[in-house]
Amino acid sequence: MTYTQILYDGLWKNNTGFVQLLGLCPILAITTTLTNGLGLGIATLLVLIASNVTISLIRNIVPVAVRLPIFVIIIASFVTATEMFVKAFYYDLYLVLGIYLPLIVTNCIIIGRAEAFASKQTVGHALFDGITMGIGFIFALGMLSGLRELFGYGTLFANADLMFGPAAQFLTVTVFENYHGFLLAILPPGAFFGLGLLIAMKKAIDLRVGIK
């Protein structure tokens, strides 16, 4: 397994959002605005890196019979700690993400990468896998939430200051003036339609350039 392969896997070929379809619960629930999507994506990335590295470090001392309970303990502790830090230092973002932060625990991406990759690979590989898979997830969340926000509200990066501070207000773009909103894009069915479209687009690109 080379680093290039890991990079390609994480960002495109095996993208968690578009191909593995792991973490559907947050992907569908939180992607109503780009800010929300990126906020959850970054939190997931941090947890994924921490859990991948830790699990790779202990892969040789953990008894096979209890490896899954141990992985779950590690992931749950990291997520709880992350939630506390977000609540302490990004309180407004915490109010937006709310229940979806603790739900990172149940995000199958984390335990999936722990079991399928980190528990069998060196620390360097596991770290890199965490980074690329996490960025792939952010990419998927970003595409879907950008699409939904654009069609649903006619804006991009609304409330960006919640995450990046008041200085980030300039990021907010009103794409369509006097747009009355397209409710379907914001409601849960819009998440399924959007994700379906994006998966189809990815397949179409793959076919076009001849990737199997």
Partner 1 sequence: MKINTLSKNMLKTATMLTLFAVLGGGLVTVSFQMTREQIQANERLSLLRNLNEVMSHDRYDNDLFSDVREMTHEALLGTAEPVIIYRARKQGQPVGAIFTSVASDGYSGSIHLLIGVHSDGTLAGVRVVSHQETPGLGDIIDLRKSKWILGFQGRSLNNPNESSWKVRRDGGVFDHLTGATVTPRAVVKAVKNTLVFYQNHREEVFFH
Residues in contact with partner 1 by CB under 8 A are 61-63, 65-66, 69-70, 73-74, 76-78, 80-81, 84-85, 87-89, 91, 95, 181, 183, 186-187
Q: Nearest to residue 110, comparing CAs of 76, 144, 142, 81?
A: 76
Please give the Cα distance from 125 to 111 (Å, whole number): 16
**With respect to partner 1, which residue has the nearer C-beta, 15 or 51?**
51
Least CB distance to partner 1 at residue 50 (A): 10
**With respect to partner 1, which residue has the nearer C-beta, 135 or 150?**
150
Least CB distance to partner 1 at residue 146 (A): 18
**With respect to partner 1, which residue has the nearer C-beta, 148 or 202?**
148
172: left (phi over 0), alpha (psi -120 to 50) or beta: beta
**Contact status, residue 11 vs residue 135, Cβ threshold 8 Å:** yes
**With respect to partner 1, which residue has the nearer C-beta, 14 or 106?**
106
Reduced to 3 states (helix: H, G, I; strand: E, B; else coil), residue 3 is helix
Phi, psi of 174 (to 5 degrees): -95, 105
**With respect to partner 1, which residue has the nearer C-beta, 10 or 190?**
190
Reduced to 3 states (helix: H, G, I; strand: E, B; else coil), residue 128 is helix
Least CB distance to partner 1 at residue 40 (A): 19
Least CB distance to partner 1 at residue 8 (A): 33
Least CB distance to partner 1 at residue 130 (A): 17
Question: DSSP letters of 60-117?
Answer: TTS-GGGHHHHHHHHHHHHHHHHHHHHHHH-HHHHHHHGGGTGGGGG-HHHHHHHHHT
